[in-house]
Amino acid sequence: MSSPVEIPPTLPPLPHAPSVPWSAGVVEAYRGLNAAFLTSRRALNLDESDPIRLGHHIKQAETFMASIIDALDSQTDNPLPPSHIREVRDSFALLIDGLRTAHDQAISEYVSPVFLR
């Protein structure tokens, strides 16, 4: 059996800007993205995480966070390097996989006792 894949503790930091500094919009979007990532990652470690809470984090990662990544990826003036965007997408893919696994486990913990009675 393979070991679970490790979800990074944070997103990779913004790389150094090649010529001009990153715009305020890019910096703020990235801060928000990282904050959302950390909040969802922490939800994996909560003892009281339930399927509804985990489902909310999955939905947020698949919609809100994914749209921010897409917006960062579509920057035309001073764009983030494609390798960095790939790293961020990979981090989110690992997070979503971890959330789905935890969600499935939480559902089985809620459902199993009901069927055992």
Q: Give me the domain span that covers residue 65.
A: 25-116
Residue 106 lies in a domain: yes
Residue 8 lies in a domain: no
Say how many C-beta atoms besides its own lie within 10 A of residue 117's C-beta.
Answer: 4
DSSP character at residue 116: H
- The model's pLDDT over 23-80, given as tens digits with 9 standing for 90+, comes to 999 999 999 999 999 999 998 877 667 899 999 999 999 999 999 999 999 988 888 9
Residue 29 lies in a domain: yes
What was the pLDDT predicted at 18? 82
What was the pLDDT predicted at 67? 94
69-73, 105-109, 112-116 — which is least confidently predicted?
Answer: 112-116
Contact residues for 32 (Cβ-Cβ < 8 A; gap 6+): 68
Task: Please provide the average confidence, as pLDDT, over all residues in the chain.
Answer: 87
Residue 2 lies in a domain: no
Residue 1 lies in a domain: no
Residue 63 lies in a domain: yes
Residue 35 lies in a domain: yes
